[in-house]
Amino acid sequence: MARWQGPALMVASAATWAAGLIFTKLTLDVTAARPTSVLLVQLVASVVVLALAGLLSGADLSQGWRKGWVGLLEPGIAYQLALAGLALTSAANASVLGSLEPVMVPILAWLLLRERPHPRLIIVILGATVGSVLVSYTTSGSGGSWHGDALIVASVAAAALYVVVASKQVADVKPLPAALSQQTWALGLIILVLGGQIAFTGGPFWPEPNATGFLLAGFSGVLNYALPFWLYLSALTRMPVSRAATYLTLIPVFGVLLSVVVLREKLTWLDVLGGVLVVVALFVDATLAARADRKAAVKAEAAGTMVR
């Protein structure tokens, strides 16, 4: 049962990330606030929820503040670039380019951590990524911009680098304090960026302040930051970063399903085909990994018996 905890946490992380993205889009549409202002409210809500969760659970929240700088990569830089790119390019382009993250992560893990990917994992990543692209693709994806696309790719690179660097910290810092420290660093960065935007371009922090808009932004922040990052960092304590990355391909799948329910968008046959491909690829990966773990355990037990 324990071998399925990592995959289960990653599925939950992908689902909450997707829900957070849907409600972030809803927040931007309803409030008409600048993206950085929405991001600030989201991070404040996320930091408050993580701090309360830490206090209620008795976690040592003094851990990892120096290492929390990795939060500058994601959600700090990655989400700032993503929102700026989304303002210039189409949502379809952003979704397809975002599907590159699970491919970038194993490459960076190989280069930086010398974590050589298993050939089986490469096949799984390719299959899941193809499915993710199919889910993200839409015939209404016009309105792209190479400037916007470049910003999206840069945000994906920052997010992939975060995934790899954060995987080295989970051995030293527990998931909850790590998520709190990382998002506090990101919050500091966003405060500086927003202050600079207001100083140079003017305009209000929030066009029409109201409780509904702030509550919606706060709720989307908890979904988009507090829950997925906490779940993701917890998953990294139970599985390698290269395997965890494959489950990020579920984000567009959950995103499409939630967009149908929340935003009343239509489901196409490509969405269904891509979703099935992603789920099958991940199921095969989890099953083969579990089988390999059992073989390794049997081999270790046999070696121990021989020594005795």
Per-residue pLDDT of the chain (308 residues; tens, 9 = 90+): 456 788 888 889 988 988 887 788 788 878 888 888 889 999 999 999 999 998 888 878 877 788 889 899 988 899 888 877 766 765 555 665 666 677 777 777 777 766 666 666 667 667 766 766 665 555 444 445 667 777 878 888 898 888 888 777 766 778 888 889 999 999 999 999 998 888 888 778 888 888 888 999 999 999 989 998 889 888 888 877 767 777 777 777 777 777 677 766 666 666 667 666 766 766 666 666 656 656 655 555 555 555 45
Closest CA to 102 of 308, 298, 287, 253: 253
This prediction has a pTM of 0.73
**Model pLDDT, residue 139:** 42
Phi, psi of 65 (to 5 degrees): -70, -35
Q: What per-residue confidence (pLDDT) applies to 63? A: 73
Residue-wise burial string across 8-42, b where 16 or more C-beta atoms lie within 10 A, e elsewhere? ebbbbbbbbbbbbbbbbbbbbeebebbbbbbbbbb
Structure tokens at 114: 């010398």
Spatial contact of 7 and 247, defined as CB atoms under 8 Å apart: yes
Task: Quote the pLDDT of residue 142.
Answer: 46
DSSP letters spanning 236-301: HTTS-HHHHHHGGGHHHHHHHHHHHHHS-PPP-HHHHHHHHHHHHHHHHHHHHHHHHHHHHHHHHH
